[in-house]
Structure 1
């Protein structure tokens, strides 16, 4: 098996053990264009849940400190849980996508 394919697949699988650290290192260390392409895709797919999670955390903090009554707090909590469920769904989909991409790279 080709070492470049293994490194490319590891960039996708690294979501489970070293998210966006391994693809970033591989992108700057390896000189192969195909490996750089997969490292960049893996890095972006690892960054999406982090960015959404940070926005969700910011939304939660701003909402907690700006709600004054219990009635509006209930509505805010429901919206926050809906966004958390959406975040969880996106994270699971991206995890499955990364694993599928790793298998595709190894099979090609």
Structure 2
């Protein structure tokens, strides 16, 4: 099996053990264009949950400190749980997508 395919697939699977760190290192170190392409795609797909999680955290912190009444707080907590459910759904979908991409790279 070709080393470039293994490295490309490893970039996708690294979501499980070194998210966005391994694809970034591979993108900066490897000179093969195909491996760089897969490393860039993996990096972006690993970065999406991080950015959404940070936005969710900022939204939660600002919301907790800015809400004054109990009725508004109840609505805020419900909306925060809905956003968290959407976040986890997006994360699961991206995990499955990355695993499918790794298998496709190895089969090609």
Instruction: Bin the TM-score by the shorter chain.
Output: over 0.9
Could you state the TM-score of these two structures normalised by the residue count of structure 2?
A: 0.99
CA deviation string 1:27-83 (max 9, x = no partner): 011010000000000000000000000000000000001100111000000000000
| Gap regions ≥5 residues in structure 2 | none
1:39 and 2:42 equivalent?
no
Note the aligned Cα RMSD (angstroms).
Answer: 0.3
- The equivalences for 1:49-64 within 5 A come to 49-64=49-64
TM norm structure 1: 0.99
Q: CA deviation at 1:102?
A: 0.1
Q: Which residue is 1:96 aligned to?
A: 96
Tell me the matched-pair count. Answer: 108
Kindly report structure 1 stretches of 4+ aligned residues shifted beyond 4 Å: none
